[in-house]
Amino acid sequence: MGSTRESAAETVRRELEAEINNGIRAPGEPLDEAELMERFKVSRTPVRTAILQLASHGLITILPRSGTYVARMSAQDLLSMLEVLAEMEASCAKLAARRMSAEDRQKLKELHAAAKGVADKEDAAAYDRYNQELHGLIYAASLNAYLSDLILSIRRRTKVYRRTVFQEPGRIRTSYAEHARIVDAIVAGNAAEAHEHMLAHISGSSKDFLELLAHIPGEFTHEPPQPKMVGRRK
């Protein structure tokens, strides 16, 4: 009978991924294998296995003869990823409008209505929790686990760059008003409008993108310098 116990490499990978996604380890931060071995009380092999797994998902950059770093995204990469996210979230909303049960439609309405006080107070932390719950309910209602997983993957990958979005003046009120249009469309079963409103909500205007990029620390969006190549002696 196979064991369900988590392997050492999986433990290291899971913990590192959570720290990267939550901004505890900032983009560009170097990773020290010896420090990780000591922290997790494991040999070098599980640490390297975890690092390779995270590198394959774009969360870590390995530079030969230079080191291992938490991956950084270029501004263009970030914009491209957010464009994809907008399209996928819109598709999710469209499917939810078609497939959501009557019980979940009522739950969606009540969740949005209950968050009005949070939006009025512009409580960023509380609003972020509501935002995650509302979007999560829509993902589940799409009945497309593959699409939901892709959306969550991009959200995790870009979380560190978006974590101050609800601290921008007026952004919470704007988001709440946009949510109202999305919720109304889904509850009414209007797939086309749900798609349209969610696309507008996630993608925003060009100004929104420029504002987002303006608040990203410069050191988050450039890879560590490549090591200089040393020529052979003649």
Which amino acid belongs to residue 115? A
Does 90 lie in the same domain as 46?
no
User: Of 20, 50, 71, which residue sits at a domain end?
Assistant: 71
Token pair 């999986």 in the structure block, residue? 10
Cβ neighbours, 10 Å, residue 119: 20
Split into its structural domains, the chain has a count of 2
Residue 55 lies in a domain: yes
* Range(s) of the domain holding residue 13: 8-71
- CATH code where residue 159 lies: 1.20.120.530
| 50 and 152 assigned to the same domain | no
Residue that terminates a domain, selected from 18, 47, 71: 71
Q: Is residue 233 part of a domain?
A: no
Could you tell me if 26 and 57 lie in one domain? Answer: yes
Q: Is 30 a member of any domain?
A: yes
- Say which amino acid occupies 31: L
The two three-digit tokens of residue 99, written as one number:
């497939």
Q: Is 229 contained in some domain?
A: no
Asked if 63 and 227 count as a contact pair (C-beta separation under 8 A), the reply is yes
Question: How far apart (Å, rounded) are the C-alpha atoms in residues 178 and 192?
Answer: 15
Of residues 180, 159, 181, 171, the one with CA closest to residue 204: 171
Tell me: do 192 and 84 sit in the same domain.
yes
DSSP states of 68-105 as a string? Answer: EEE----HHHHHHHHHHHHHHHHHHHHHHHHH--HHHH
CB distance 43 to 37 below 8 Å: yes
Q: Is the per-residue pLDDT at 4 higher than 80?
A: no
| pLDDT value of residue 102 | 97
* Terminal-to-terminal C-alpha distance of the chain: 61
- Predicted confidence band at 21 (pLDDT cuts at 50, 70, 90)? confident
Whether the model clears a pTM of 0.85, i.e. scores above it, the answer is no
Tell the residue number behind the tokens 């589940």, with chain if given: 140
Check whether residue 82 and residue 135 sit in a common domain: yes
Residue 231 lies in a domain: no
pLDDT in tens, 135-193: 999 999 999 999 999 999 888 888 777 766 777 778 899 999 999 999 999 999 999 99
Look at residue 53 and tell me if it is in a domain: yes
The 3-state DSSP class for residue 30 equals strand
Residues 80 and 19 in one domain: no
**Same-domain status, 89 and 150:** yes
The answer to which of 34-38, 44-48, 216-220, 230-234 has the lowest mean pLDDT is 230-234
